[in-house]
Structure 1
């Protein structure tokens, strides 16, 4: 322990690591609360905030946000069951995804969700058949649309161009006979999601205005009732040194103005803003322990017990240029950086680098190294089975107490699904 050691709600990170081992993810419930509540307090009361479980499917993270009022956006049977066990009411849950299986559609019909989000007309017809077979009446469905406009500023565009997501607006306009012929499905709203990691509030305001305008226009043209409109999310987090975080006051003021105008035409419509990364990334720190510090051809390396097998997002997947997430010495958290290190994990690949030439205080074997802003797309987007290391422990600190919210994989966990043939 050093005087400058990183703490979570007064708990020393070395004590957390000693109790639960490394590598691990540590989630700070106070930060989770403050991010959600800070947005909730500023957002128009007609807008419900839903957590997109793909960002962090840990049941305690979901359950805690649920106690604050968050709903759940799920995209698999496991996520659906996770939300249920976490205490999220079915009426605060929506199920979306471009490739739902028959088993998933049947589960959605049985679950009495707020809405199933259909992403193709064939899916809509299949769901209508299942609703008839199940004896369901007025099964609530939203249609995910692929609008014709494009919003700049996203790190990954998910609409406004040819995509597997949603129904093209032109196709929907030409499908009014199909909509009128539905027997048990009740189309009660529209959904659009245009992209991820927006960091400019003006782009997100434009995105919101365009989606709401498209919903209003399509409702008038097709007769679709607008009981709910999901205008997506995509709020970004400034991972890299050249990025600036969203101006939340300006963002919410602009969204609230757009929402207010929309509600004048559609009073009582439920609006959903689905967020993942923005809600959960700030609360998480990936904690790994330095095993060796070595020099190779003039470059200093820290070889740690965890790396991209647990935190593939830190590699910069999807980016043309590798940029470092915020990497800090947790053992010497308050000390000034004096040298640069490349921080790697234990994998047998040169790509296992979680920080390239990172400025840090002096690092010694046994020190704890942390990757900050790691509460989203950590284990869920990482190759945890590579080299059979398995997935790490996850810990949430709540009211000053560290709770194990996912135990680390054991060797038996990794092997018990395999079957040895007797040769």
Structure 2
């Protein structure tokens, strides 16, 4: 066998111990192995099989509290609306709602999930560029806090639906400030070529138009410049500065502006990259919008839920290729698509104590799907792992299960919530029978 391919990242990867040190809800027990809070991940795998998602209730609470605390320390009094698209699990939403978080939703399904989880309609914001008439009707029937309109055409739709229903829609206008957040091209949302919002220069005329339409109460403006923003808060400051200028312009025209929705996007360190803190974000908001006398809101998703979750998966086999070693897992890109879609880096840590301490060698860590893109890591240092060995893929609590599919007819994995020394199944593993349910063969094929 030829020598394995070298590690591809120019800098050494963080060690397993270094990865865990930054994630206080995870630790290696010398006997029980990798623990989430006080529960061995091996026990979860034994109870519910693999692959399986595990979420730390303690981490969710701490991270939400840290963000709320930073906003309070900056004397902003801003509302936190969790971006449901990051993790729509009902148990996660219920837990965050109990801690005072509202919900930012982008579909009928997310709105219904937030309500089913107990989040009050008065704490729900509906965003998104393509709301259907049915979704607008539902939002108005539920009397949610506000709808973020993203185009002149959508404003007209909301007006027509609200008028027909005899309702008045509270509407914020989402603007596109043409600010580059320096994030991945597929998750940037604040540049002029992106589909989101209206050009900020066109906002005064459209906001004035909203004030004259029946069924609409303009209540403010909104912005969201991208996801997984790690290049400091400079882009936030620029975008919020443009938003502050817009608020002053609208008020100078005699228009009422009560709220500013600052969006989300605060990044997390998946590897060991620097990432801005909630305090830095709060500082950017305070410096630009803090003296306008408006209600403020933020829409984090990844920052709260990402580090709180892991994907526990089993080794199917090790394959020794001509030039490299492959560790094949029973998880795949249909479970966690981020590495395939965004070239994203996720820490991968052995669960067993002996594997955690064993010598490392480079390997490609892959799934069983018939795609070369079904790869979690290339040239990653990992010990020799026997079949059925467990590994945990870190920082999978956001855009993990939420983006899962049944590609290759693979059932959706189970989800578990850990809280101290307790854990509970919060979403059942999809059955093979459920994969076929709802499909029908036309009669003529059996004729």
Distance 2:32 2:154 in 1: 56
Is contact 2:241-2:289 (8 Å) kept? no
Q: Does 1:314 align with 2:342?
A: no
Q: Deviations 1:288-328 (Å, cap 9, x if unpaired)?
A: 1001112111422111111111000122x24xxx4531111
Instruction: Work out the CA distance in 1 between the residues paired with 2:436 and 2:246.
Output: 50
Give the alignment of 1:3-152 within 5 angstroms: 3=31, 5-44=33-72, 45-136=76-167, 138-147=168-177, 149-152=178-181
Residue number in structure 1 paired with 2:391: 369
Q: How far, CA to CA, are the matches of 2:277 and 2:107 in structure 1?
A: 33
Work out the number of aligned pairs and report it.
Answer: 410
The counterpart of 1:402, out of the listed 420, 423, 428, is 423
Matches within 5 A, 1:235-384: 235-241=266-272, 243-262=273-292, 266=293, 269-315=294-340, 317-318=341-342, 322=343, 324-332=345-353, 334-335=356-357, 337-382=359-404, 384=405
Alignment partner, residue 438 of structure 2: 417
CA offset at residue 126 of structure 1?
Answer: 1.7
Separation in 1, partners of 2:268, 2:395: 8
Going from structure 1 to structure 2, the CA distance change for 1:172 and 1:72 (only over 3 Å counts) comes to same
Q: Which residue of 1 aligns with 2:12?
A: none
Tell me by how many angstroms 1:226 deviates: 1.8
The 8 Å contact of residues 224 and 262 in structure 2, kept in 1 or not, is answered as yes
Q: CA deviation at 1:335?
A: 1.7
Structure 2 distance, partners of 1:2, 1:303, is: 26
**Cα-to-partner distance string for 1:151-200 (whole Å, 9 max, x where unaligned):** 44333431231332112223233346633421221011111111221113
- Secondary structure of the residue that 1:110 maps to in structure 2? helix
Offset at residue 86 of structure 1 (A) = 0.7
Match of 2:182 among 144, 149, 153: 153
Q: Does 1:233 align with 2:264?
A: yes
Residues in 1 aligned to 2:84 and 2:117: alpha-carbon distance in whole angstroms: 11
Asked if the contact 1:94–1:115 (Cα under 8 Å) also holds between the matched residues in 2, the reply is: yes
Aligned equivalents of 2:248 and 2:139: distance in 1? 28
Mapping 1:212-227, distance limit 5 Å: 212-227=243-258
* 8 Å CA contact retained: 1:4, 1:331: yes
Distance, in Å, in 2 between the alignment partners of 1:205 and 1:163 is: 17
Aligned-pair distance for 1:207? 4.0
Would you say the 8 A contact 1:324–1:356 is kept in 2? Answer: no
Q: What is the CA–CA distance in structure 2 between the aligned matches of 1:208 and 1:104, rounded to whole Å?
A: 29
Q: Any conservation in 2 of the 1:189–1:224 contact (CA below 8 Å)?
A: no
TM-score with structure 2 setting the length: 0.86
- Cα deviation digits, residues 105-158 of structure 1 (max 9, x gap): 11111110110111111211121121111111x3211111122x4244333431
Q: After alignment, is 85-94 or 118-127 more displaced?
A: 118-127
Aligned equivalents of 1:153, 1:177: Cα separation in 2: 32
CA distance in 1, matches of 2:206, 2:286: 32
State the distance in 2 between where 1:50 and 1:57 align.
13
Contact 2:102 2:123 (C-alpha < 8 Å) held by counterparts: yes
**Could you tell me which residue of structure 2 aligns to residue 186 of structure 1?**
217
- Return closer, same or farther for 1:90/1:256 CA change in 2, 3 Å cut-off: same
Maintained 8 Å contact 1:128/1:183 = yes
Q: SS where residue 117 of structure 1 aligns?
A: strand
Say if 1:276 and 1:211 are closer, same or farther in 2 by CA, change over 3 A. farther
Contact 1:22 1:392 (C-alpha < 8 Å) held by counterparts: yes
CA contact (8 A) 1:151 1:206 kept: no
Q: What is the alpha-carbon distance in structure 2 between the residues aligned to residue 66 and residue 194 of structure 1?
A: 25
Q: TM-score, normalised by structure 1?
A: 0.91
Q: In the TM superposition, what is the alpha-carbon distance from 1:336 to its structure 2 partner?
A: 5.3
Structure 2 CA distance for partners of 1:337 and 1:57, relative to 1, 3 Å: farther
Cα gap change, 1:337/1:216 in structure 2, threshold over 3 Å: closer, same or farther? farther
